Amino acid sequence: MTHESSRTSPPSDAGRTVDHPCTERPQTEDQLRTQDQPAQGQPFVHDARLVLWAPSFVASRADGDLAAAVDGFYHGDRRYLRSLRVSVDGVHLAATNAVTESADRAVFEAVLRQVGQSTADPAVTLRRERSVQPARFTELVEVVNHGSQQVTCTLRITAQADFAAMDAVKAGTALAAVEPACEGQRLTWTAGGDRLSLTASEPPADVRVDGPTDSLAVSLVADTEGTLLFELALAPGETWRRELTGLAESGTPTPFEPVAAADRPWDALELTCADSDFTRLLAQSEQDLARLLLADPQAPTDVFAAAGAPWFLTLFGRDSLWTARMLLPLGTELAAGTLRTLARRQGRATVAATEEQPGKILHEVRAEQQELGDGTRLPPRYFGTIDATPLWITLLHDAWRWGLPDSEVAELLPQLEAALNWLTEYGDPDGDGLLEYIDSTGTGLANQGWKDSGDSIRFRDGSQAKAPIALCEVQAYAYEAALAGATLLDAFHRPGAAGYRSWAARLQEAFRRAFWVADRHGRYPAIALDADKRPVDSVTSGMGHLLGTGLLDAEESRLVADRLLSPGLADGYGLRTYAAENGGYNPLGYHVGSIWPHDTAIAVHGLAKAGFPDHARRLAERLIAAGPAFEARLPELFAGTARSSSRRPAPYPASCRPQAWAAAAPVALLQALLGLQADVPAGRLTVHPAASRLLPLSVRGLRVAGVPLTVQIAADGTVQAQTSAAVEVLTSPPDRP
């Protein structure tokens, strides 16, 4: 039976209890995989509605149904429920509204066409209010008769489960559905050690109203679809409600634990400014980030941000580190939890199969091995990343500057020393003074920087570079990390600082000799060096990551700043990953023409830090303008089409939304536009805002040295910053463009 026929066929057994043999038939994952259908490609998710509370989420259509390839109720990298549909007597349900009320709650509304109508006005409505908690979702289903006639109808809720692993869903592999069992007002499914239940019950007393009675029948449709049938009789003005509860019980513990709402490690961020789009961006981002948090089971008070939903709802070294770094103006607690969680899993040995090395910070952690469909197989704990280790070092240093207590920094000094040693002993395997990577397993990631798709590192003519690859931004990360690490070693009276400063100086000279190329517009840094040490000369956003790290001198920084704002990179709604003039440019290419909010935010922050506030403002305003197209929930990436050709940016169809570093990007923009820099050990806090259409502006919820910070900027540029932290606050009016 097809899904569509199950939505429209009238129920033959409505109104009576159906007695079916419903014995459970447990199936293992291996048994399920033997029934796989051919992969159809990665599902599109741009039109999905996600509500989440990590490590769980529900993805659905805008009408509330779970009906598309990506849809479902997920918990811990596994989809439990793959289909959930509501129908009424085969009546057309006209979806009228879908609202994401918060990160973990959404409301879907529809009209029952031609039901109970005495005029052309709709009379009967359906409302579904869905919320998610870890391992659980609830859905309040409500039918209201607003008309003047008695209405009788049969409401049907059908469901299927498949217990698909995330890699199978992402590959577009259609798994066979699992047969359900009936238990009173409950449907249950079992596969191996995993179990799913879907229960219908009266709603809680605080949402109940006096209304009609109904009769409920629980039955099986075909062999793999369960149904809940309700015969309704509604007098004019009456409301009927039932609550569905889905509960996932995992046979395999998830690697990380959920975080309670009260344990969010920052205060509420309150922004008032002249741009309502930016205010909405920050508000939605804060909600999403709170629901992306996970805790380390080895130390449950240590929390970090999972990378994103649906594909990456787990610990990713690079993503979690960048997210924590962008959120430092909200406090250091998230940074501390992220640093410690990764430090507990820092490499301790050389293991070829996982690419682990002593001192290395890992790439990702999953409950199971990931089979990505192109021959790529990533073990549950995978270290294939070139940049997580220097980013860990820099986050430790920056958190210290924002006021992370010395005692907490001191506890991480052994891991700092191991990470610094990895930079010099393992990160540069050929000894040329630069960090490079190559997949040593043959089944890992071909590219191991943040642009990790297989075709992301290209020459200007569009041809692909061959590994080993030395990325431009990784050299900047390593340079900044070596100096930051040396500063910490000196501050905490540990040896070795001079050696790392000398190493950083040699890297800087090697970069200057090898990476700079030129075209008719002038000089710029290449994205990478290839296996033959040739500059990979495409114009890319990678150069934006160099600013503010200290790797470039003043003139080099000016060249990069001007190139970033060139039309080829920045005439869209942010910064393109790959300039439009490059061969092989594709505005929907994952890393060869799309726009990633976090990438743009890193460039904005670097521009501000390097002394180019007007450049930072102009680029920030482009990204802020993208917000309304995505209902203020910025996706992982979106199309790099020019603003002159489209009044709104187009989605990248398979993009995560929400994504942690995309959600953190507006906070990074705020920091850059405020010109906010902290150096608590030196007793200084600087506020040097960029002139902006945001003014007047007031922001609360910032923290420095563990205490609140408020900033107000009047329309004329007058700056007021208030904090009880033991720092001197240095303010200045905005530079005028």
- Look at 31-35, 151-155, 423-427, 583-587 and tell me which has the smallest mean pLDDT: 31-35
Q: How confident is the model at residue 15 (pLDDT cuts 50, 70, 90)?
A: very low
Strand partners, 364: 316, 382
Closest CA to 419 of 478, 502, 351, 460: 478
C-alpha 169/C-alpha 367 separation (Å) is 16
For residue range 122-171, list pLDDT tens digits in order: 999 999 999 999 999 999 999 999 999 999 999 999 999 999 999 999 99
Instruction: Identify whether the C-beta of residue 80 lies closer than 8 Å to the C-beta of residue 194.
Output: yes
Task: Supply the pLDDT for residue 222.
Answer: 58
CB atoms within 10 A of CB 686: 17
Task: Supply the pLDDT for residue 33.
Answer: 36
pTM of this structure: 0.92
Task: Supply the pLDDT for residue 258.
Answer: 98
Residue 395: pLDDT above 50?
yes
Closest CA to 655 of 639, 634, 637, 632: 637
C-alpha 690/C-alpha 378 separation (Å) is 44
Give the helix/strand (H/E) hosting 107.
strand 105-112
For the four alpha carbons of 623, 629, 635 and 637, in that order, the dihedral sign comes to negative
C-alpha 483/C-alpha 397 separation (Å) is 10
Task: Supply the pLDDT for residue 36.
Answer: 41
Task: Supply the pLDDT for residue 25.
Answer: 30
Residue 31: pLDDT above 60?
no
For residue range 248-264, list pLDDT tens digits in order: 999 988 999 999 999 99
Within 13 Å, how many C-alpha atoms sit on residue 720's CB side?
10
3-class SS string, 567-609 = HHHHCCCCCECECCCCCCCCCCCCCCCCECHHHHHHHHHHHHH
Task: Supply the pLDDT for residue 411.
Answer: 98
For the four alpha carbons of 59, 64, 66 and 70, in that order, the dihedral sign comes to negative
Q: How confident is the model at residue 215 (pLDDT cuts 50, 70, 90)?
A: low
Residue 451: pLDDT above 70?
yes
Residue 21: pLDDT above 50?
no
Task: Supply the pLDDT for residue 174.
Answer: 86
In the chain, % of residues over pLDDT 70: 92
When the pLDDT of each residue in the chain is averaged and rounded to a whole number, the result is 91
For residue range 275-294, list pLDDT tens digits in order: 999 999 999 999 999 999 99
Question: Distances in Å between the alpha carbon of 386 and those of 40, 183, 310, 469, 488?
Answer: 32, 52, 24, 10, 22
Give me the domains of the chain, ranges plus CATH numbers: 3-249 (2.70.98), 257-264+300-656 (1.50.10.10)
Q: How confident is the model at residue 22 (pLDDT cuts 50, 70, 90)?
A: very low
Q: How confident is the model at residue 216 (pLDDT cuts 50, 70, 90)?
A: low
- Note the helical H segments in 269-387: 276-291, 317-326, 333-344
